Amino acid sequence: MSRRALVTGASRGIGRAIALELAAAGFELALNSRAESEAALETLKLVEATGAKARTLYFDIADRAQTLAALEQDLAANGPYWAVVCNAGVNEDAAFPALTGEAWDRVVHTNLDGFYNVLRPLVMPMVQARSGGRIVTLSSISGITGNRGQVNYSASKAGIIGATKALAQELAKRAITVNCVAPGLIETDMTAALPQELIVDRIPLRRFGKPEEVSAVVGFLVSERASYVTGQVISVNGGMA
């Protein structure tokens, strides 16, 4: 029987690449997005085309009550997940003096609160299943080094790193590993408007990364081969310091 995995923010970009990576590894997938969309349905179609079993699961990770209700219903119907990939996130950039309270709240509530909202209902069922498991979170180079115009985003992504390391300590004795992947500049909707030709000189490999280069690392971390890796932050950033 295939193991079940949840991927949040699975409708496009890195999330879609992760979904396809896990589908190829034989997981049965629940693909989360905030609401039904063409992109979400396209991801489902692509995953099913690999022969993997998959379904959509719609909820906004920033909405605690909605997330809890959706996950409790899913757990009751299908049982615990063996792997969870917390990929969903947003950014709303501005220089700090121009950063509105709404922009701060939206980014922090989605990126950092989403860690709690998604994982809090899922951890104890994973523990009670007594079969180990994998949790992978997505941070960012901004959460490691900081970035101008991204105080809210950097704060939320740095918080994810701290939360990941602490949760790894709590769950290690249950054979549930918890690790973090921190992408750099990756070709996604979030970076589409950036002038690549003006930025690539900051990247030692002289190019933006591809979503598949991030998903390959996630794929390793959810595999049996990564059973002795926990509490780690792995950067996928082309060599950026």
Residue 167, pLDDT score: 98
Residues 31 and 20 sit within 8 Å (Cβ to Cβ)? no
Return phi, psi of residue 133, to 5°.
Answer: 160, 180
Contacts 24+ apart (CB under 8 A), 153-158: 153/91, 153/92, 153/93, 153/107, 153/111, 155/108, 155/112, 156/89, 156/107, 156/108, 156/110, 156/111, 156/112, 157/89, 157/111, 157/182
Q: What is the pLDDT along the chain (241 residues), one digit of tens a residue?
A: 679 999 999 999 999 999 999 999 999 999 999 999 999 999 999 999 999 999 999 999 999 999 999 999 999 999 999 999 999 999 999 999 999 999 999 999 999 999 999 999 999 999 999 999 999 999 999 999 999 999 999 999 999 999 999 999 999 999 999 999 999 999 987 777 778 778 888 999 999 999 999 999 999 999 999 999 999 999 999 999 7
pTM of the shown model: 0.96
Distance CA 211, CA 204 (A): 18
Can you give the pLDDT at residue 192?
Answer: 73
- Three-state SS string over 55-93 comes to EEEECCCCCHHHHHHHHHHHHHHHCCCCEEEECCCCCCC
Q: Pick the catalytic residue from 58, 81, 116, 153.
A: 153
Could you give phi then psi for residue 103, rounded to 5 degrees? -70, -40
Which domains, from first to last, does the chain contain? 4-234 (3.40.50.720)
Burial class (CB in 10 A: 0-12, 13-18, 19+), 200: middle
Q: Is 116 a catalytic residue?
A: no
Structural element, H or E, at residue 33 = strand 28-33
The pLDDT, as a whole number, for residue 1 is: 60
Angle at 6 between CA 10 and CA 127, to 5 degrees: 155
